[in-house]
Amino acid sequence: MPTPFAEALRNSRIVSVLALGFSSGLPLALTGSTLQAWMTDAQVDIRTIGIFSLVGLPYTLKFLWSPWMDRYAPPFLDRRRGWILMMQGLLMILIALMGSFSPRYALPALAAMSVAVAAASASQDIAIDAYRNDLLRTPERGLGAAASVFGYRMAMFTSGAFALILSDTFNWQYTYWTMAALLGLSMGVTWISPRLDREKAAPTSLNDAVIGPLKDFFSRRHATALLILIVLYKIGDAFAGALTTRFLLSGTDTVPGMGFSKTDVGVINKGFGLVATLAGAWLGGFWMVRLKLPLALLIFGTLQALSNLTFMQIALSERSYTLLIYAISIENITGGMGTVASVALLMALCNRRFSATQFALLSALSAVGRVWVGPLSGYGVVALGWPVFFFVTFLTALPGLGLIFWLRHAIADAALTTNT
């Protein structure tokens, strides 16, 4: 009897979503952590490296040009795959150009290329998110979200850890050219991906593409409450995760940490945590085939909130590798499940006609908590100490769970009506 995993791999829509998730995640580290490592190798001043973090700004502003991508279509393939193919080709060229500039001798040119890569990558995300939303059928959303998360995380590993190994073995130019070649292979995936068999008509004007998505969304019952839910659903997870690395290291006399080494944190928190997140994503996806969306959100969200208490347990105990592995496993598995449910919720709330714009807006909103909790977390730890802080992060997840219960009928209606 075939396993659920084997069944998923027989579904061309799920396989395409997984492969395009890889294409979506690959450029991120190349303008982030991997670029920082390259600049460090080139002995660039740390203040300059810090300023370079601003090259990621296009990811937070992509909703500004998403209506344009909803309104207009390239003259080949269909409206979604055409944009994906264009952005992949552009990314292949831009990433190869990045590898041709040295941080030591051509820093301004490298900065310009980095911003261009981030903008093209954000545009690719708009098109891939819209394509996934339009392609997947209602029963496939959970598994499709899991496949997308799996592909995205594997790509981040490839352009992060694997890229560092490549640069150590060869050089940075070879590394970036290899990543560009992988984007080239992704173009083939886009070309053979399933054609949308029920694509809705594009907005008739740019004004319609801007106003239409907002008018459509706010015409729904409990629209404002649904937006609040998107912000709150993973905010407890974001609070706990904002300072996890700092918590596990030695810290300072004012705010001590648990005293694990950087190798411990790298191997267990980053390496093992990645495996646990991927396992959680697939587990969540398979469960969502059997669960209705409101119930999945409630169960996964509850498990996600409870996982924060495992870090409270670490803070109250002596340093223990067994407890660390246990906490990292629970936190990342439940976090992966919660991410799948969150992506499925965003897909359920998007109208196919405006999916590029609506998904860009909703995904930007879902990142609000992750962006703003960092400074609050720092002050919270200083004021409360680690054990109480992690308990508070658990409490911050409860309002979102209450909203899910209150909005369960509106969520169920959205899952049945927006993308049928």
CATH of the domain at 16: 1.20.1250.20
Does pLDDT of 266 surpass 90? no
For the purposes of burial, counting CB atoms within 10 Å of the CB of 209, is it exposed (0-12), middle (13-18) or buried (19 or more)? buried
| pLDDT for res 274 | 81
| pLDDT for res 115 | 93
**Is residue 25 one of the residues assigned to a domain?**
yes
User: At which of 199, 232, 258 does a domain end?
Assistant: 199
Structure confidence at residue 420 as a pLDDT band (50, 70, 90): very low
Whether residue 38 is found in the same domain as residue 152: yes
Whether residue 122 is found in the same domain as residue 54: yes
Dmax (CA) of the chain: 63
Does pLDDT of 267 surpass 80? no
Assign 3-class secondary structure to the chain: CCCHHHHHHCCHHHHHHHHHHHHHHHHHHHCCHHHHHHHHHCCCCHHHHHHHHHHHHHHHHHHHCHHHHHHCCCCCCCHHHHHHHHHHHHHHHHHHHHCCCCCCCCHHHHHHHHHHHHHHHHHHHHHHHHHHHHHCCHHHHHHHHHHHHHHHHHHHHHHHHHHHHHHHHCCHHHHHHHHHHHHHHHHHHHHHCCCCCCCCCCCCCHHHHHHHHHHHHHCCCCHHHHHHHHHHCCHHHHHHHHCHHHHHCCECCCCECCCCCHHHHHHHHHHHHHHHHHHHHHHHHHHHHHCCHHHHHHHHHHHHHHHHHHHHHHHCCCCCHHHHHHHHHHHHHHHHHHHHHHHHHHHHHCCHHHHHHHHHHHHHHHCHHHHHHHHHHHHHHHHHCHHHHHHHHHHHHHHHHHHHHHCHHHHHHHHHHCCC
Whether residue 247 is found in the same domain as residue 334: yes
User: At which of 143, 178, 199 does a domain end?
Assistant: 199
What pLDDT, in 10s, does the model give residues 328-362? Answer: 899 989 988 998 888 888 888 887 777 778 888 88
**298-302 own/partner pairs: CB under 8 Å, 24+ apart:** 298/401, 298/404, 298/405, 298/408, 300/334, 300/337, 300/338, 300/340, 300/341, 301/233, 301/338, 301/341, 301/397, 301/400, 301/401, 301/404, 302/401
Does pLDDT of 86 surpass 80? yes
> For residue 387, what are the contacts with CB-CB under 8 A and spacing of at least 6?
312, 315, 316
pTM here?
0.75
**Is residue 205 one of the residues assigned to a domain?**
no
Average pLDDT score over residue span 151-178: 86
Mean pLDDT is lowest, of 12-16, 108-112, 321-325, 352-356, for 352-356
Structure confidence at residue 396 as a pLDDT band (50, 70, 90): very high
Mean pLDDT of the chain: 84
Average pLDDT score over residue span 29-40: 82
Instruction: Look at 39 and 304; give whichever has higher pLDDT.
Output: 304
Whether residue 195 is found in the same domain as residue 272: no
Whether residue 43 is found in the same domain as residue 172: yes
| pLDDT for res 288 | 82
Whether residue 182 is found in the same domain as residue 257: no
| pLDDT for res 418 | 52
Whether residue 41 is found in the same domain as residue 80: yes
Distance, CA of 183 to chain centre: 18
**Is residue 264 one of the residues assigned to a domain?**
yes
**Is residue 374 one of the residues assigned to a domain?**
yes
**Is residue 331 one of the residues assigned to a domain?**
yes
For residue 207, the one-letter residue type is: N
Most confident of 80-89, 260-269, 404-413: 80-89
Whether residue 276 is found in the same domain as residue 407: yes
Instruction: Look at 397 and 379; give whichever has higher pLDDT.
Output: 397
Does pLDDT of 202 surpass 50? yes
Provide the angle, in degrees to the nearest 10, between the axes of the packed helices 386-406 and 293-315: 170
Whether residue 136 is found in the same domain as residue 165: yes
Average pLDDT score over residue span 401-405: 93
Total tally of structural domains belonging to the chain: 2
**Is residue 185 one of the residues assigned to a domain?**
yes
| pLDDT for res 177 | 95
Whether residue 168 is found in the same domain as residue 241: no
| pLDDT for res 262 | 62
> Above pLDDT 70, what percent of the chain?
89
| pLDDT for res 82 | 92
Structure confidence at residue 293 as a pLDDT band (50, 70, 90): confident
Average pLDDT score over residue span 312-340: 90
Q: Which domain holds residue 247?
A: 210-417
Average pLDDT score over residue span 303-320: 91
Does pLDDT of 47 surpass 80? no
Whether residue 134 is found in the same domain as residue 8: yes
Give CA–CA dist 236/373, Å, rounded: 9
| pLDDT for res 157 | 82
Average pLDDT score over residue span 242-249: 73
- Which structure tokens are listed for 34? 């991997």
What pLDDT, in 10s, does the model give residues 174-191? Answer: 999 999 999 989 999 899
Give CA–CA dist 375/371, Å, rounded: 9
**Is residue 130 one of the residues assigned to a domain?**
yes
User: At which of 143, 168, 199 does a domain end?
Assistant: 199
What pLDDT, in 10s, does the model give residues 227-243? Answer: 899 888 888 888 887 67
**Is residue 204 one of the residues assigned to a domain?**
no
Instruction: Look at 415 and 182; give whichever has higher pLDDT.
Output: 182
Structure confidence at residue 1 as a pLDDT band (50, 70, 90): very low
Whether residue 271 is found in the same domain as residue 238: yes
